[in-house]
Homo-oligomer: A and B are copies of this chain.
Amino acid sequence: MTTNHSPLAPNRFPHMPPIAGVRLATANCGIRYQKRDELMVAVLDQGTAAAGVLTRSLTASAPVLWCREALKGGRARVVVANSGNSNAFTGRAGQQTLDATVDSAILLTGCESHEVFVASTGVIGQPFPSGLIPAQMSNIASGLTAESSGWTRAAAAIMTTDTFPKGATRTAKIGDVTVTINGFAKGSGMIAPDMATMLAFLFTDAAIPAPVLQSLLTDAVDRSFNAITVDGDTSTSDTMLLFATGRANNALPKSADSIELAGFRRALNEVALDLAHQVVRDGEGATKFVKISVTGAKTDSAAKRIALTVANSPLVKTAIAGEDANWGRIVAAVGRSGEQADRDLLRISIGGILIASEGMAVPGYDETPVTRHMKSGNIDVLIEIGLGQGNATVWTCDLTHGYIDINGSYRS
């Protein structure tokens, strides 16, 4: 694990205002890390609505399976998240650890079991003693705070191979009422199942019914966490949860696309995208933040598939690491995406400069600004398919020696 911040990290953790109805506490609990907190608990006021998006992995962790059931109730009172051990592929003992954690959260809040959400990240397949989290619940109870400092500590407690804590906040109006959305996340590969995974927790004081909240979250995730990739892998533990305490007392919106939710939707999308970008900026070994836009595909989903194929190509990612505007590798990735493309209609621009069109390199294009762009930390690739109206944008990072260093070293 590196102790240096990613060169693409933001300057500082944002100031997170309190969210009415949310209190946070953290604790060390002896799972893996000696000198830092590795347990985060959020206690939520009664009446909090819950929504979530979970990994589609068929070997999902015990906490993911638990959350999948709990989400059916649409209500939440407590979130328990830990780093250091993902409680994935831990068999019957792992289930017992999960049960003990849930029981301790019920004791803490007096809630029902389906109001408890659990997320674990860290080493896979390692025994996770069932008493570790319950033993800290009295410390947690005395440490709960609604203050800004609680958010900073919470974001730090869920880190694994992350080199910086990731937070984002926005406000929006619903009718005349100002509401706030805070979120924090961790992850530095889309998967690194023995050390990292993607977790994100979002909280708002807005009053929004659970089905509407779920629809808003699903939409936000499609444009943010489902539009980023570090290494194309998907984890056993990826978990994104959104909680709405309702304490802002706005009028309840009826549907996700209602006009009074326009500002909230935009703010939620921004928080999700901000956090997703921070995950990419902390991509293992990343030195370049890469935006890949595809326009003119047959459909939006075709555009996204093309963009993700390019974003996941090891050859494109190593070329960007080498500051090489290697459009040939981009063409090849488009060609193997499985989506319709026509070599002679394809146009590729890097840093705003058209460098390939009409089935060949643009004769005599000015390489100087392209070379300068490739040396910067933010790389823009535009791929125009020229066949339809489908658009998509995804974000990724380069593939460097740092990635090999982090993932090719022995676990212990």
- A contact residues vs B (CB 8 Å cutoff): 56-60, 88-94, 123-126, 189, 191-194, 231-236, 312-315, 318-319, 321-324, 326-329, 331-337, 339-344, 346, 356, 358-361, 399-401, 403-404, 407-411
**Is there contact, CB below 8 Å, between B411 and A343?**
no
| A-B residue pairs in contact (CB < 8 Å), sample of 10 | A57-B332, A58-B341, A59-B343, A94-B360, A233-B314, A234-B336, A322-B407, A324-B411, A400-B404, A401-B404
Q: Please give me the residue from chain B that is nearest to A411 by CB atom.
A: B324
* Nearest CB in chain B: distance from A114 CB, A: 23
* Nearest-neighbor residue (CB-CB) of A332 within chain B: B193
Q: Which of B60, B88, B231, B410 contacts A315 (CB 8 A)?
A: B231
Residue pair B332, A407 in contact (C-beta under 8 Å): no
Closest chain B CB from A157 CB (angstroms): 22
Collect the chain B residues with CB atoms within 8 Å of residue A189's CB. Answer: 315
Specify the chain B residue showing the minimal Cβ separation from A94.
Answer: B360
User: In the complex, A59 Cα to B330 Cα: how many Å?
Assistant: 10
Do B193 and A318 touch (CB < 8 A)? no
User: Of B60, B312, B403, which contacts A335 at CB under 8 A?
Assistant: B60
Is A359 a contact partner of B92 (Cβ separation < 8 A)? yes
Which 10 interchain pairs have the tightest Cβ spacing? A59-B335, A124-B328, A91-B360, A322-B408, A57-B335, A318-B407, A91-B359, A234-B336, A318-B408, A193-B332
Set of chain B residues within 8 Å of A344, measured between Cβ atoms: 91
A314, B231: Cβ atoms closer than 8 Å: yes
Distance in angstroms between the alpha carbons of A358 and B312 in the assembled complex: 32
Report the Cα distance A193→B57, complex, angstroms. 32
Q: Once bound together, how far apart are the Cα atoms of A324 and B233, in whole Å?
A: 18
Using CB atoms, name the residue of chain B closest to A355: B125
Most buried by B among A191, A322, A359: A359
Contacting residues, chain B, for A319 (C-beta < 8 A):
407-408
- Selected from B58, B315, B404, B409, the residue in CB contact (under 8 A) with A233 is B315
Nearest chain B CB to A285 CB, angstrom units: 9
Which residues of chain B are near A343, meaning CB under 8 Å?
58-60, 89
> A57-B335, A125-B328, A404-B399 known; A323 and B410 CB under 8 Å?
yes
Contact indicator A356/B125 (Cβ below 8 Å) = yes
Q: Given A322-B407, A324-B411, decide whether A332 and B93 contact each other with a Cβ distance below 8 A.
A: no
A128 to chain B, nearest CB (A): 11
- Cα(A288)–Cα(B233), bound, Å: 21
Is A59 within 8 A of B314, CB to CB?
Answer: no
Q: When the two chains form their complex, are residues B360 and A89 in contact, meaning their CB atoms are under 8 A apart? A: yes
Nearest Cβ distance between residue A152 and chain B, in whole angstroms?
A: 30
Residues in chain B near residue A411, CB distance under 8 A: 324, 326
